[in-house]
Structure 1
Amino acid sequence: MTDMNNPNYGGYGNWPQQPQQPQQPHPHPQQHLRQHPYGYPVDDEAATTLLPPVPPLDDAATTLLPPVPPLDDAATTLLPPVPPLDDAAATTLLPPVTASGAMPVAPPQHFGQPPAQPQPQLPQQQQPSRARHRAPTPQPAPQQAAPVPPAAPMPPAGPGFDPPTMTLKRPTVPVPGQVPGAPGVQPYAAVPPQPLPVTPPPAAPRGRTGSPIIDPGLQPALITAGAAALLAGGAALGQVALALVVALLQLLTAAGWFRLNGMWPARQGILLAALAGFTADVAVLLADSHGGVAAVVGTLGGFFLLVLVLQTFRPSDPKERFYALTVLGSATVVTTLCTMLLLADWVPAGVGAVALATLLAAAPLPGPKQLGPVLGLVAAVLLGFLVGAPMALGALAGLGALVGRRVAAYDFPSRFVHMTAGVALPLAVSAPLIWIATDLLAG
C-alpha cells in the first residue's frame, strides 16, 4: 500500500497534523461521528471553532436577572379608577378573536380604600450550568401548559364608579367634615345640578289699550276761552293789538302741531312755521284794504316753496324726509291761516262762538258722549244770531272749534299736546272759516 505521506512513493509530503482537541463529552452519545471518505474524521465542533459557543436556552440562563415582581393595583394607585367594561359591548365593532385562555384579572381597587400590599415572591434559585461541559442528560418531556384558573368574577361597581355613558356628568366635591375612606361614610357627595341663571328677555313696551282718541279735558277748554277773550279785546283795540295776540296764537299752534305729529324736539321746524305766520301778519298790516288776501296767499306760497327745497336737499332717509316734509308743510299752512283773523269782520262774535262750543263739548254733562258737542254747536249758532252776525258765522265757527278739538285728541295725545294743540287748534281752524262766513258768504 502506498504511503501517501512519503514523497518517494508518489506521496505529497506530510499532511498537516490536526491539533489535539480535548475529549469533550457529547451530549448525545448515541450519535456517532461521520467518517470522511479518505479516512479522517470530521468533527463539527472543530469546523465551527471560529464561532462563539451558543449555550442551550434554559431557565438557568436568566438567573443573573433581577426578579420582576408581578404588577398589581398598587402601581396604579395614582391613576383614576377605571370602571369595568363589558367585553361584548366594547368590542361590538371589532372582528371576533379566538383566545387560547383568559388571563387572571386583579380585582379593581376602589377609590378611598387602602391599596393591597404586594406579596413578595421568591424566585427559584437555580445553579448555573455549564452549557458545554456537563454530563449528558436525557431531554425532558415537553411541558404541558398549566391549567388556567377561571377568571374571577368582577365585583360590583362601588360608589366611586359610574357606568359608561355619553352624558356629561358634573364633578363631585368632598363634603366638609368627612374623611375619604372612612367606614360607613361616602368619600364624596354628588353635587346637585344647579340651574343656570336665566336672564329674562327685555320687557316689551306695554301695548296701549282702549281708544286712541282722547279728547282734551275741561282745563284746555278754559284756556281756549281765555285766548278767545284776548282776541276779542285785541280786535276792539285795533289791528296792531290783534296782530300781537294772533302772533302768540301762531307760536302755540306750531309747537302743538309738531308735538301732535310725533316730531319733538323740532325747533327749526317750529320756528320756520311761526316765521311764516309772522311774515303773513306783517304783510297784511302793510297791504292796503284790497291786498290783504294776496299778501297771505303770497306769503304762504313762498314759505311752502322754501320748505320744499329745504326738505328735498336734506341729507336723510327718503322716508323720513317725506314725513318731515308733510309735517312742516302742514304746520306752515295751519299757522299762516291764523292771519285771516286780521281780515275778517265780526271777530269778537266769531271767537265767542268758538269758546262757547269748546266749553260745552268738554263739560262733563250727563247723558251720551255726543251730547256736549251737539249742544256746543247749537249754542254757537244761537250766539251769532243773538248778536246780529251773519247766519253762517256761528255755525262755521262752532264747527271749526269742534274739528280742531277732535284733531288734538288723535293717537293717544299727551298732556303737552292737550295744553298746546288742544288750546290753539280750535281757534286756528276757525280763523279762515270766520273770514269765509263774514266776507265771502255775507257779501
Structure 2
Amino acid sequence: MTDMNYPNDGGGYGDWPQQPRHPHPQQQAPYPPQYAQHPYGYPVDDDAATTVLPPVPPLDDPAATTLLPPVPPLDDAATTLLPPVPPLDDAAATTLLPPVRVAGAMPVAPPQYSGRPPQQQQPVQQPPMRHQPMPQPVMPPQPQQPSRARHAAPVPQQAPRQAAPVGHPAPAGPPAAGMPPAAGLGFDSPTMTLKRPDAPAAPPYGAPPGRPVPAAPGAGGPQGRTGSPIIDPGLQPALITAGAAALLAGGAALGQVALALVVALLQLLTAAGWFRLNGMWPARQGILLAALSGFVADAAVLLADSDGGVAAVVGTLGGFFLLVLVLQTFRPSDPKERFYALTVLGSATVVTALCTALLLADWVPAGVGAVALATVLAAAPLPGPKQLGPVLGLVAAVLLGFLVGAPVALGALAGLGALVGRRVAAYDFPSRFVHMTAGVALPLAVAAPLIWMATGPLAG
C-alpha cells in the first residue's frame, strides 16, 4: 500500500510507477550533476551514446568537396560560347516585322498607289504643355557587338499605306517585283479563289470556220456549245453512201445471197452508228446484239418461202425485242440508265433488222440509186439557199424512178427516206465518227422498208 500521509512520496494519483522510498532521506546519495540537469537522465555530450554515428567533418574540410566542379568567377571566360547580342538599332534583325503605325496624322499614299496627286498635309499643332517633362536618365553607351547581318544589303524602307475608309475597298498595290501583271486574273472577294479568263472553245465538228463558239463558264463539252445542234453530214459521207448503194445494186444483180452479204455489212454499220449517235459508247454488247438481230432476219428470209419473208422479219423483230426487254429489265443498274439503255437498244434492233426489207423488195437498183442521188445532191455545196440541195435531191430521185420505169412512189419514197436518215444523223452536235457511220448508213437503212412498200403493197 502507498502511504497517503506522506506528501512527497508520489502516492495517490501521482506519477506512476512509484519510486521506492529511502529509509533515511537525509542520507540518500544525490544524483550526478549531469543526470540531475537533463530531463531524460543522460547528458547531450555523452560520448558513449554517439559511438555508432560517423564523425561529422567540419564545414571547411577540403576533402569533402573534391568531387564538386570548380565554380568559375562571374568575370571568367565561361560566357564566350554565348552568341553576341545584336544592338537594339540593328535594322536587319527587324526586316520580317510589319511596319509600326505611329499614332497621329494619317500618312498619305504616294501617287502610284491612290492614283491622285499628293496633297500637302498640315502639321498637327501640339497643345502647350503645362508641366515640364521629367528628365530621362542618361544610359551609358553600349559597346557594339559584331552582327551576323553586318554585310547584308540595306533594307529599303516601305512607304506607308493609307488606310481605306469604312465601306470602300482598299486600293490595290503594285505587282511584286519580278512578276509581270497578269491580265484577266482576279480574286473573288468572298472566297479568294483565283479566277482565270474564259478561253474560247474550239468550234465543233462541221461548224463553219471563222466563227468560234464561246464556252460557257464552268461548262465543258456539248453543254458549253452554242448555236444550232444540227450539223449535217458533209459531202464525203454522201459519196460513201453512193458507193454503198452501188454495192447493193451489184449484189441485187448477182442474187439474193450476194445481196444478203452486202445488207449484213450495212446492218453492222447501222448498229454502230446508231449507238454512237445516241451517246452510248463503247457499247459492244448492244452493237453486237442489234447486228445479230439483222443477221438472223436475213437468214430467216433466205430460208423462208416466197410468202413467208415478211413473217420471218416480223418474228425476228419480236423475238429480239423480247430478249432486249428481259436483259435490260434484270440488269443491275440505275433505273434511269436502264430505261435509257432499253430505248436505245430496242430502237437499234428495229432499225437494223428493217434493213432486211431490201431482200423482199423489187426494183432494188432503182431504189438505192434514188437514195444515192438524193443524198449527194443534198450534201453538195450548191449556190443559193440551204434548202435548195435537199429539194433538188428529192426531185432527182423522183425523175430517176420515172426514167427507169419503176413504180410511181418508188423515187419519192426512196428520196424521202434518204433525206430523213441524213437529217437524223445530224442531230445533237454529231462527231466525225457519227457522220462516217450513221451519216453513211441511215439514208439507206431508213429507205429500205420504204422501197419495199413502194414495190410491194403500194405497187399493187
- Same fold, judged at TM 0.5 (above): yes
1:345 aligned partner: 362
**Equivalent residue runs for 1:100-119 within 5 Å:** 106=136, 116-117=139-140
**Equivalent residue runs for 1:8-407 within 5 Å:** 106=136, 116-117=139-140, 176-178=152-154, 189-190=157-158, 199-200=194-195, 204=218, 205=220, 207-407=224-424
Cα distance change of structure 1 residues 105 and 439 upon mapping to structure 2, 3 Å threshold = farther
| Distance of 2:354 and 2:140 partners within structure 1 | 110
Q: Deviations over 1:362-397 (max 9, x none)?
A: 111111111111111111111111111111111100
Offset at 1:200?
3.8
| Distance of 1:84 and 1:346 partners within structure 2 | 98
Count of residues paired in the alignment: 287
Identity fraction in percent: 81
The 8 Å contact of residues 283 and 292 in structure 1, kept in 2 or not, is answered as yes
Cα distance change of structure 1 residues 210 and 105 upon mapping to structure 2, 3 Å threshold = farther
Q: Deviations over 1:244-280 (max 9, x none)?
A: 0000000000111111111111111111100110011
Cα distance change of structure 1 residues 177 and 259 upon mapping to structure 2, 3 Å threshold = same
Offset at 1:230?
0.5
Secondary structure of residue in 1 paired with 2:307: coil
> What is the one-letter code of the residue matched to 1:177?
A
| Distance of 1:350 and 1:84 partners within structure 2 | 92
The 8 Å contact of residues 256 and 421 in structure 1, kept in 2 or not, is answered as yes
> What is the one-letter code of the residue matched to 1:248?
L
Offset at 1:202?
9.5
Offset at 1:105?
8.3
Structure 1: 5+ residue stretches without partners: 1-76, 87-100, 108-114, 119-172, 179-186
> What is the one-letter code of the residue matched to 2:331?
R
Secondary structure of residue in 2 paired with 1:440: coil
Offset at 1:177?
2.9
Cα distance change of structure 1 residues 191 and 244 upon mapping to structure 2, 3 Å threshold = farther
Cα distance change of structure 1 residues 188 and 356 upon mapping to structure 2, 3 Å threshold = closer
Offset at 1:292?
0.8
Cα distance change of structure 1 residues 176 and 386 upon mapping to structure 2, 3 Å threshold = same
Q: Deviations over 1:266-309 (max 9, x none)?
A: 11111110011001111111111111111111111111111111
| Distance of 2:150 and 2:278 partners within structure 1 | 67
| Distance of 1:287 and 1:250 partners within structure 2 | 20
The 8 Å contact of residues 300 and 332 in structure 1, kept in 2 or not, is answered as yes
> What is the one-letter code of the residue matched to 2:139?
A
| Distance of 1:104 and 1:85 partners within structure 2 | 22
Offset at 1:176?
3.5
| Distance of 1:417 and 1:210 partners within structure 2 | 19
Cα distance change of structure 1 residues 259 and 105 upon mapping to structure 2, 3 Å threshold = farther
Offset at 1:201?
5.5
| Distance of 2:335 and 2:269 partners within structure 1 | 29
Structure 2: 5+ residue stretches without partners: 1-86, 95-99, 104-130, 142-148, 161-172, 177-185, 188-192, 199-217
The 8 Å contact of residues 175 and 188 in structure 1, kept in 2 or not, is answered as no
Cα distance change of structure 1 residues 425 and 84 upon mapping to structure 2, 3 Å threshold = closer
Say yes or no: does 1:418 pair with 2:386.
Answer: no
The 8 Å contact of residues 175 and 189 in structure 1, kept in 2 or not, is answered as no
| Distance of 1:105 and 1:257 partners within structure 2 | 99
| Distance of 1:427 and 1:175 partners within structure 2 | 87
| Distance of 1:102 and 1:85 partners within structure 2 | 23
1:50 aligned partner: none
The 8 Å contact of residues 284 and 296 in structure 1, kept in 2 or not, is answered as yes
Offset at 1:210?
2.5
> What is the one-letter code of the residue matched to 1:350?
G
1:442 aligned partner: 459
2:109 aligned partner: none
Offset at 1:102?
12
| Distance of 1:85 and 1:258 partners within structure 2 | 74
| Distance of 1:427 and 1:280 partners within structure 2 | 17
The 8 Å contact of residues 221 and 355 in structure 1, kept in 2 or not, is answered as yes
Secondary structure of residue in 1 paired with 2:456: helix
> What is the one-letter code of the residue matched to 1:376?
G
1:408 aligned partner: 425
> What is the one-letter code of the residue matched to 2:140?
Q
> What is the one-letter code of the residue matched to 1:420?
T
Cα distance change of structure 1 residues 190 and 322 upon mapping to structure 2, 3 Å threshold = same
> What is the one-letter code of the residue matched to 1:431?
A
| Distance of 1:105 and 1:322 partners within structure 2 | 94
Cα distance change of structure 1 residues 190 and 401 upon mapping to structure 2, 3 Å threshold = same
Offset at 1:174?
10
Cα distance change of structure 1 residues 174 and 252 upon mapping to structure 2, 3 Å threshold = farther
Q: CA RMSD in A?
A: 3.4
